[in-house]
Structure 1
């Protein structure tokens, strides 16, 4: 059972999310909050698996709330809700540690799939969105990131380079002509060696290390 915490300042929107989540046999809403500060309190009280986090809220926005929650506990995964694809708030939320973001007007099935995907440890970023996100986050090449990437085997580096383009495990398997199980094993080793919690962080490190250049398709 996936425990979901809803942090959204609009009560009607929260009610809609609750209805959708509670209709599923494998997930339930464990708490609600109307702003980031309350979200921090509820996250500590309910210990959710996934937090659905709005970014534009009174008292404390979702960016600061995400950073504080993940600094206190590495357990929950944060799925950020945004009104506009790749707005500055969403980019900042990913920097703060969110595992991905979703447009508020996404279909219910996409919303539910995103919760399950984030809970499973994957990232909710479409390939095209990942490319634009990384172009926005693009820093100078970071020697620390390069050192981390240098700990990978040649095959793991190859997998990371493809992963950094926003491909799923299944798509990576097809591109590299290997089994999906093999890809999952490589990804698990990559996350361990890079000391990151999810694919989003691994993709950012790959970008910082110069493994993938901005605008690469």
Structure 2
């Protein structure tokens, strides 16, 4: 699974890359800290999933989420933010986010979420 990281903190970028490297079959295909390069990077790559911060130095991650889901709705997106208000959660989920995490309390859940996205859906058996 190809993952794109959209995060403006280099410290968090590096931490996420280390987390992802521990998941077999997960590859980081791009890292961006700003909205424009992230959009171009995602649209022009074979991205399957994105870790996306809401507050980016050059723009709004929520708007980026909407634009990506318009052009590539199949991409899975997890929001990872320090601004985990209920209002932000609702807006992100309504815009198409597949999951929503708080950086300060939910960071460790990233691996489980990404790993679950790698699992193929089990075929339905008809008896």
TM-score normalised by length of structure 2: 0.83
| Alignment partners' CA distance in 1, 2:34 and 2:120 | 25
Relative to its length, the structure with more strand (as a share) is 2
**Structure 1's 107 and 55: CA in aligned 2 closer, same or farther, altered over 3 A?**
closer
Which residue of 2 is the match for residue 48 of structure 1?
47
How far did residue 35 of structure 1 move? Answer: 2.0
Corresponding position of 1:146: none
Q: CA deviation at 1:88?
A: 2.3
Runs of 4 or more consecutive aligned structure 1 residues displaced over 6 Å after TM superposition: none
The total of aligned residue pairs comes to 123
Query: Partner residue of 1:7?
Result: 6
Say if 2:2 and 2:47, in contact at 8 Å, map to a contact too: yes
What residue in structure 2 maps to residue 90 of structure 1? 89
Greater RCO (Cα-Cα under 8 Å, separation 6 or more): 2
RMSD between aligned residues: 2.3
**Over residues 131-178 of structure 1, what are the superposed CA-to-partner deviations in whole Å (9 max), with x where a residue is unaligned?**
xxxxxxxxxxxxxxxxxxxxxxxxxxxxxxxxxxxxxxxxxxxxxxxx
Partner in structure 1 of residue 37 of structure 2: 38
For 2:66, the equivalent position in structure 1 comes to: 67
Residue 83 (structure 1) shift: 2.1
Unmatched segments (≥5 aa) in structure 1:
123-180, 186-217
Tell me which protein shows more helix as a share of its residues: 1
